[in-house]
Structure 1
Amino acid sequence: MLVLLLLGILVVVTASSMHRLFAQTLSSIPGPRLAAVSRLWYAYQVRNGRLLQLATTLHQRYGPVVRVAPNEVWLNSPEAFKIIYNPSHGFDKSDFYLCTVLFHPETDWRRPFHLAFPDTLDLLSERDMKRYRQQRRLIGPVYHETNMSKFAAVIDGVLSKAVAELKSLDGAEVDLKEWMHIVAVECLGAVVLSWSPGFLKAHSDFGSSSAGYYNWRRKSVFGLFPAFVIADFHSGGGGFVLKAFTHIWRLAYETRKDFKSFFPAVSTRISARVRKALKVKAQDPVVVSGKGKSDLLGDLIDLHRAKPDFQETYLRRMAVTNFGAGHETMCSALTAAMAMIGSHPEVMQTIAKEVRAVNDKGKPKHNITSARDAATKIPFTAASIKEAQRLHPAIGMSLSRVVPPPANPGDLPLELHGHILPPGTVVGCSPPALHRNPDIFGKDADFYKPGRWLDEECDPAQRRMMERINLTWGGGARTCPGRYLAELVVYKTVVALVRNFDVEATMPADKDIHYYFLAMLEGAKACFHIRKDEKESGSEPDSEPD
């Protein structure tokens, strides 16, 4: 009986595999054979962090449409991007994002796949587009570029301290990712809470960036199996299912001996500020903003008072989200920018000339208050940062969406590049692949070339396409709400560091770069040498970045 049972399972598996390979609608789409049979192939690649390698090889080998799992397809073309991530009627997020939820849904074993998610302003995993759009409209004014620009001086203060601490290292080699994470969290702490986590003083982030990255590794694999994620919800979340999955896939990780998360301190401060502010009258601006401190939490508290729809749950969640969604993506952008600039001496020299320019009084010419401001005042520096984010975006995995049913009876199914993609198919573009597409970025798309973003070196039509067909900050209606704050920190940090240091960076080989859903340049090293002209003159360099 056991033999018969095993034979029966073998027959079912074989028949299912043959159907997926030859009879399923997606069988005509090229890709690795194992990927068409089982999602295990894709999960194995993600587990090993090979998403950058896949992005640079799969489409070269198979073309613009590649099957990476039985029901999932990667696409790499402007046509696909415009349809999948259309700002007004783009496709909904896939079940992969269930692994990113912050608050577990209500569950019922009688209806195991019916999940009731609470309304908590969980922007990354929110799949109710009506609710998502309402939330984005509410927070829009607070996170607009003009409001973010008022925090420029606060960021300058943090960067002044960062420059001083880096100078004390006297050019010693550092882990670039850790130091960029230190800067990112310090800037977020100052902007959001008028607070410092003490990272700069300690010259350490206490392993928080590495722990977060390995947690994303686990999420990236777990999210590819939504049935297990749902089972975990039913078991209470983070229970037996997740632990067993982590053990089987060997996704566990050990934190550093000195590991210390900054989130408990963040949560404590937010709770205390919110609790105190909500007890006082709305017309008391000093208490509303937190003892006279003008920070982002103060703005969110004011928004809660002005708009009842921005409920207290939203207020608390958004305050924490600034750190939860910001510290890793901001670190990724900073690491990519400094790694690419520092590993290309000719780029470093050009930026140095641009940002070290001074006025008649010997003061810095440029006071950067936004990315748009940077593009005008320091165009080559701005182009260098954009080019680094193009080649090494913060998201390394396909931003997966689901093909919807036809809008009207009788409508033809979706067809792209000669392939039918029926409703329910998971589709998406991999940012590292799309950003290296020669049809969009030119024949030299694999190379770091900041000039491609400058008007004098780029055809205006191609420049518009590069700006539009781009996933640096997400796609369509789901672009990052904190983009303007992140850009402000990144641009001002690069200016401050290059203004004060001759930066040398070493990049890991592509085969050694591990990308998961979140992508970071682990292994990049840097030396921040005090400028030669300052050492020779004995003068004190500009301590205020802008």
Structure 2
Amino acid sequence: MDQLQKPGSGKELIAFASIVPARVIFSVYRFYSSPLRNILGSLLARVINLWYFCKVYEGHLEKENIELHQKYGKIVRIAPNEFSIDDPDAIKVIYGHGTGFPKAGWYYGWTDPMQKNETLFTTRSIFHHTIQRRKYATSHSMSTLVGYEGFVDECGRILSRRFEELSGANLVINSGEWMQYYAFDIIGAITFSKRFGFLNNGEDIGGLIQANDNRRMCATLAGIYPSLHPLLFRVVSYLPSSGAAGFQYLFKFANERIGERKLWLGTEADDGPMDQVGRFLTAHMKRPDYFTTQDVLMGSLANILAGSDTTAISLSAILHYLCTHPEKMQKLRDKIDSIAKRGQVSDPVTLKETQTMTYLQAVIKESLRLHPATGLRLARKVPKGGATISGEFFPEGATVGINTWVAHYNRDIFGPDAHLFRPKRWIGADEKALSVMEQYNFPFGLGSCGCISKNISLLEIGKVIPQLVRRFDFELEEPGRELHCVNHWFVKQTDLRCRLPMRRQSTKVQGYRGTGAIPRHHATMP
């Protein structure tokens, strides 16, 4: 890390400055010679990536992307050879099995160009992605979730206990931060059999969250200029707070955790449910040539990098919409209380029980529709021979994709009230309308490259929301104020501030007494 902070020779900056004019000239030529020059968008976006870069940097592109489609239609230009699509029929063309659309160069920005390490998220080879996904499939399957439920229960109890303490002190909290502490501790438990300790401390331990945020912003912007990524990576790595520094910090962190896990793998201390690294290491010992040490590292790192953010954002979205729609909050409570009176709800609630709670599932689905975690396109490269999308022929090499936010706010699909929080739209709708909505609702991505951790995230969400709703009244510090979010790939809430008065009929949380001794597989990181 010290080496990263040494001043550079300046050669990288000179090289960067000499490349920019040449790229502008090339972009102007490419636009006027392109058969797609009729596709509208920002005037600047026709000839240079700078418009897109600036909008991504500002951190609110999800809203502007929606507005562009409302103004120009199904296809809009966001960069010289890059296009945003809003059409359900485009899903099969772009993301369907066997269509041959690889991930675009933007994903290269999420790699360390010096190390050439790749995760399922960053790899752009369709063949390599298929092989790698197969390696991790078992550890993320629905059948494996049963073994993870105990990890989630423990973190849920600690979160509830901490909320009781904060409630008693009548403090205003940033509940979005606490949702991330909860999600990060679960990721630690599920991945390494040890919580990170965020819930115990109530703060960002070791700057891990900040490092992740820095890295995400850096990677998101670097991906806009993939050919310049190695050069840009070296330039920004000289900054102490850069995303490159955060990236290397996370690599070191994951390696240390894996080393600790190896020490007691297969020993008497290795009791309880098998965590993900345990599964990875076991697979490596059986077939080291197939499941390599690199696979162990990248599988673990992928959990840390994305696992907490997506779940925390989704949980914050659910709480935000329930707080801003108190009648929906009360309806959800009434539904859960009614089931509880019949003796059909455990404490903590089980995954199986949550799956039968129709209104809870509708609230989750509607919240994730209105605020999906990702806020940029799921960008893909048009393969050899080109492709016709939404009535327009795109030649080989063009970058196309659907932004989840754009799709989820499509009024033709979700109705003129697509911008409103209405969980009931998922209950009682006719079969055809429901099928169309389901097809165009994809908060966890599309196709074979969809989020492999979807089931784990839904496990965490489905179990904790009923517990919190049953025990606490969430009161916004400033009702009516718009929630501030920053979109650097993930649309992360920054100020979901509220108080937590306890409900009179709530049940005291059992099984957690501060930060004392707890089972080995739920211990905190040292």
Using the size of structure 1 for normalisation, the TM-score is 0.81
Is 1:152 matched with 2:149?
A: yes
* CA contact 1:199–1:205 (8 Å) conserved in 2: yes
8 A Cα contact 1:155 1:489, kept in partner: yes
**Which residue does the alignment assign to 2:332?**
351
> Quick check: 51-60 or 66-75, which moved more?
51-60
Q: Is the 8 A contact 2:188 2:196 kept in 1?
A: yes
2:378 aligned residue (388, 399, 409): 399
2:137 counterpart letter in structure 1: G
CA distance, structure 2, for counterparts of residue 36 and residue 231 of structure 1: 25
Name the amino acid aligned to 1:472: P
State the match for 1:423 in structure 2. 396
> In the alignment, is the contact (CA less than 8 A) between 1:102 and 1:122 conserved in 2?
no
Alignment-derived partner of residue 134 in structure 1? 131
- 1:255-277 CA distance string (max 9 Å, x none): 9xxxxx88766542321323654
Residue 74 of structure 2 corresponds to: 64
Q: Secondary structure at the match of 2:490?
A: coil
Task: Quote the Cα distance in structure 1 between the aligned partners of 2:21 and 2:101.
Answer: 36
Partner amino acid, structure 1, of 2:383: P
Q: 1:228 to 1:293 in 2, by over 3 A?
A: same
Match for residue 515 of structure 1 among 482, 487, 506: 487
Does the C-alpha gap of structure 1 residues 297 and 14 become closer, same or farther in structure 2, counting only changes over 3 Å? closer
Aligned to 1:79: 89
Structure-2 residue corresponding to 1:94: 104
Which of 455, 468, 473 pairs up with 2:439?
468
Give CA deviations for 1:281-330 in whole Å, capped at 9, x if unaligned. xxxx546x835563232233333344442223212321232222212122
Measure how far apart 1:252 and its partner are: 5.8
| SS of alignment partner, residue 37 of structure 2 | helix
- Which of 297, 316, 328 pairs up with 1:335? 316
Q: Report the residue type matching 1:311 in the other structure.
A: T
Correspondence 1:300 to 2:280: yes
Partner of 1:44: 54
Q: 1:301 to 1:16 in 2, by over 3 A?
A: closer
Judged with a 3 Å threshold, the aligned counterparts in structure 2 of structure 1 residues 465 and 276 are, in CA distance, closer, same or farther, namely same
2:256 is aligned with 1:268: yes
- Aligned partner letter, 2:329: M
Change (3 A) 1:307 1:25: same
Q: Which residue of 1 aligns with 2:181?
A: 182
Cα contact 1:213–1:518 (8 A) shared by 2: no
Q: 1:488 aligns with which of 416, 434, 459?
A: 459
The separation in 1 between residues aligned to 2:35 and 2:151, in whole angstroms, is 55
Asked if the contact 1:100–1:125 (Cα under 8 Å) also holds between the matched residues in 2, the reply is yes
SS of match in other structure, 1:325: helix
State the alpha-carbon separation in 1 of the partners of residues 321 and 431 from structure 2: 25
Do 1:357 and 1:365's aligned partners in 2 also have CA atoms closer than 8 Å? no
Counterpart CA distance in 2 for 1:528 and 1:295 is 33
Structure 2 vs 1, CA of residues 469 and 307 (structure 1 numbering), >3 Å: closer, same or farther? farther
1:51 deviates by 1.0
Structure 1 residues not aligned, in runs of 5+:
1-8, 106-116, 233-237, 256-260, 278-284, 407-412, 535-539
> Is the contact made by 1:209 and 1:328 (CA closer than 8 Å) also made in structure 2?
no
Structural RMSD (CA): 3.3
AA aligned to 1:49 is G
- How far did 1:504 drift? 2.9
Aligned to 2:393, what secondary structure does the other structure show? strand
> Contact 2:110/2:220 (CA < 8 Å) preserved in 1?
no
Report the Cα distance in structure 1 between the residues aligned to 2:22 and 2:343, rounded to whole angstroms.
77
**Corresponding residue for residue 318 of structure 1:** 299
Within the candidate set 495, 505, 518, 1:533 is matched to 505
How many percent of aligned residue pairs carry the same amino acid?
A: 26
Q: Which residue of structure 2 aligns with residue 204 of structure 1?
A: 203
CA offset digits 1:183-239 (Å, max 9, x no partner):
11111122222222222222222564345334322222221011210435xxxxx42
Number of aligned pairs?
Answer: 487
Structure 2 vs 1, CA of residues 320 and 415 (structure 1 numbering), >3 Å: closer, same or farther?
A: closer
Of stretches 504-513 and 180-189 in structure 1, the one that deviates more from structure 2 is 504-513
CA distance in 2, matches of 1:434, 1:503: 30
Q: Any unmatched runs of 5+ in structure 2?
A: 1-18, 513-526
CA separation of 1:292 and 1:22: change in aligned 2, threshold 3 A: closer
CA 1:543–1:357: 2 relative to 1, 3 Å:
farther
1:154-176 per-residue CA deviation (whole Å, 9 max, x = no partner) reads 21111111101111112422112
Return the letter of the residue paired with 1:157: E
Contact 2:473 2:503 in 1 (8 A): yes
**Per-residue Cα deviation, 1:342-367 (whole angstroms, up to 9, x for no partner):** 22101111111222345568683587
